[in-house]
Structures are given as structure tokens and as C-alpha cells.
Amino acid sequence: MFDMAHIDVTNPQFKANPYPIYEQLRREAPVCRVRVGRWLSPWLITRYDDVVTALKDERFTKDPWKAQLPFQQMWIFWLSGPFAHHMLSSDAPDHTRLRDLGQRAFTPRLVEGLRPRIESLTDELLDRAAGQDRIDVIRDYALPLPTTVIAEILGVPVSDRQRFQRWSAAMVDVASPLQILRSVPSFRAFFRYIRELVKQRRQRPENDLISALVAAEDADDKLDEDELRAMVLLLLVAGYETTVNLIGNGTLALIENPGESEKLRAQPSLMPSAVEELLRYSSPLGIAQQ
């Protein structure tokens, strides 16, 4: 029988190759407790049908304030304050309302309008890397691409981008309670900054996402102050961490599978399906929370 007491899903050794452990858990303990750092012990479900059932079962909740969590888990949500109230931590009908309001701001036209800038920035970063003998894929490409794009989407001035990116890095690196504690100064600085930026956009709207979120309305409904700041944080984390992980994991997968890499070089038209396959093969986020 597998010793689940020693499975820490935040451990770098586990994260480097979790798949053999997942396979064994599916056979021997498809629903079991694992560890997240030293203090947290959530349940892990590893069989597909069981996962789908749990995610669709309305007896489970995404809202931490409705769950009977132990103290050491609850204080994490208390620490994040108003930023805990976003789409990923809410159930219907709140989730539906927040999603619909977000979609009103994040329109297909806005997304398509980003394409030229993203392509330009990508070319710039790759040209810069090509002039070096050695590069760090994460530091030199995967990190600056999404952080720059997200900062521009939100309307963060160029003069503030460096500290904005520093806060972003600190806030997404929170795999354990200790890391969360260390990130408190960055969270607080980010909270103050977003509060001021929202205030400015209410007074003087610009062509950016925060202005669009401020203006987003559905009948008599709109995002309140806490929800708006939580939406900004969610967009930051969702766009930042997933993109960085996709680029890093995808690059590693292609290095480890040179035949597939050569096929992709020879047939660039395969790129869209290759990205979809890399998302499946080595997911940027390995665990869905419920």
C-alpha cells in the first residue's frame, strides 16, 4: 500500500515527475489525503470519472467561507481579504454574475487587438535571446512576455512596470503557508496600488482593461470595489503563471522529445495543434481545486 502521508504536492521532487505517483494512487488510493507544505492536508482525487463527479457535485463548494476548514487553512483566506472573492472562489449565482461581468469587459475585440503587440514583443524577446550564447528560457522569455502584456492590458504605466512585475512574482509563488506569509508585503503593496489605479480610472477612464471593468454593467449590476480588485488579481495570476508554465513545460517537453521537435520545425502549420497537445501533455496547472 502506498504511504500517502509523505506525499507533498508542493515538493520540487514530486512536481518534477508526479505521474508515476498519480498512476499508483489511481490503482491503490484514488481518493486520499496528501500534504501541501507542512500544515495543509487536502484530499486528492486521481481518477477521471471521480474528478468529474466531484467538480459537478453541488454539495461541494468553491467558497472557502462556506467550507468547514481547519484554522490553519482558514487564516490563509482571511489574510487575502477582499482578494479572495473572485470567480475561482465562488459558486453560482455569484460565479455566473462575476463571469458575465468579466466577459463584458474582456471582449473578443479586445483580445484580438492584443495580437500585434504580443507578436511584436515576442519577436523582440527572441531577437534579444538570439544574440546571446546562452539564455534562461524562463527569465529571458517566459516571464517578461506575460508580465509585460498583462501590465499593458491593465494600463499600468511604464514607470511602474518593474515593481508591478516584482509584486506579481512574489504573489504567485505561494505554494506553502510560509511563502504566503513572506508574500504579505507584496500583496499589501499590490492592494494599495490597484486601489489607487481603480480610483484614477473611475475619474479618468482610458483604453485599458481596468477602465473596461469599471464600466462593465449588466442591467443594474456591476462589480463592487472588492470584486473589481479581486478580478484584477485573478487576471494577473491566471495570465501570468499559466503562460510561464506552458512555455517552460512545453520547451522541456520538446527537448525531451527531439523527434516531435524536428517535426514541428519542419511543419510550422502544426503549431496550433502542438500548443493544444502541450497543454494536455504537461498542463500548466496540474491540480484543479474544489
Residue boundaries of the structural domains of the chain: 1-60, 73-281
DSSP 84: G
Can you tell me the distance from the alpha carbon of 244 to that of 234, in angstroms, rounded to the nearest whole number?
Answer: 15
Q: What's the pLDDT score for residue 176?
A: 60
Q: What is the pLDDT confidence band of residue 214, given thresholds at 50, 70 and 90?
A: confident
Q: What is the CATH number of domain 73-281?
A: 1.10.630.10
Check whether 4 has a pLDDT greater than 90: no
End-to-end, the C-alpha distance of the chain in Å comes to 26
Q: What is the pLDDT confidence band of residue 84, given thresholds at 50, 70 and 90?
A: low
The vertex-55 CA angle with 49 and 58, nearest 5°, equals 120
Q: Which residue has the cell 475561482?
A: 88
The cell for 106 is 474582456
Q: What's the pLDDT score for residue 1?
A: 46
Question: What's the full length of the chain, in residues?
Answer: 290
Residue 183 CA, distance from chain mean position: 16
Can you tell me the distance from the alpha carbon of 165 to that of 154, in angstroms, rounded to the nearest whole number?
Answer: 13
pLDDT averaged over the chain? 82
* Residue 90 burial (CB count, 10 A): 23
* CB 153 within 8 Å of CB 147: no
